[in-house]
Copies of this chain bind each other. A is one copy, B any other.
């Protein structure tokens, strides 16, 4: 067992490395160098990159602005719009790079690691549930008039968000995020 601080430095460095370069694009060497710890210390703390990736996902998810979805002083649609606006600001601040780590890992790893796939599946399901809760509130209050199931609307909205990030990275164009908000709030959730 190595020092806990080394472990923490590795996890924190890996959040950045995996987000910038992907899982296969980040070697153990890259991660330990970025953490400023000896390469040999890695295997004192982790069985391998897969175990590290699961911790990185935990760390990444904990840093998301999910609490905004529960901010009940804002009406449901305003709250959802604020939430996606904040997510978008983070993406634009990163130069329209990096995108969502859940989406990135789904693309790169879901077919190759059962443990990571299950973790991602559960995280997406929880995310859909959180969004569906706000949509359900909006339907009850009459802000949203469609009677489509909130879980289906939330899933579609989340899919559109993930795809928006992919297209905005490919197009290097933050306007694609504005278009997402326009259609989400003037057509989908009406």
Contact surface of A with B, Cβ cutoff 8 Å: 20-22, 24-25, 97-99, 102-104, 106-108, 110-112, 117, 120-121, 123-125, 146, 148, 152-153, 155-156, 158-164, 166-167, 169-173, 176, 179-180, 182-184, 186-188
Contacts and interface: CB of A to CB of B under 8 A. Distances in A.
A121 B167 CA distance: 7
B156 A162 contact: no
A102 B120 CA distance: 21
A25 B162 CA distance: 22
Contacts of A21: 112
A98 B110 CA distance: 9
A121 B132 CA distance: 31
A49 to B, nearest CB: 12
Interface of A is mostly: helix
B108 A167 contact: no
Given A22-B24, A107-B107, A111-B98, A159 B167 contact: yes
A108 B110 contact: no
Contacts of A173: 121
Number of copies: 2
A98 to B, nearest CB: 7
9 contacts: A25-B112, A106-B169, A107-B107, A108-B108, A121-B170, A148-B187, A155-B167, A155-B179, A183-B188
A110 B97 CA distance: 8
Given A99-B107, A108-B22, A153-B183, A163 B159 contact: yes
Contacts of A183: 148, 152-153, 155-156, 188
Nearest to A104: B107
A6 B63 CA distance: 49
A111 B19 CA distance: 11
A108 B25 contact: yes
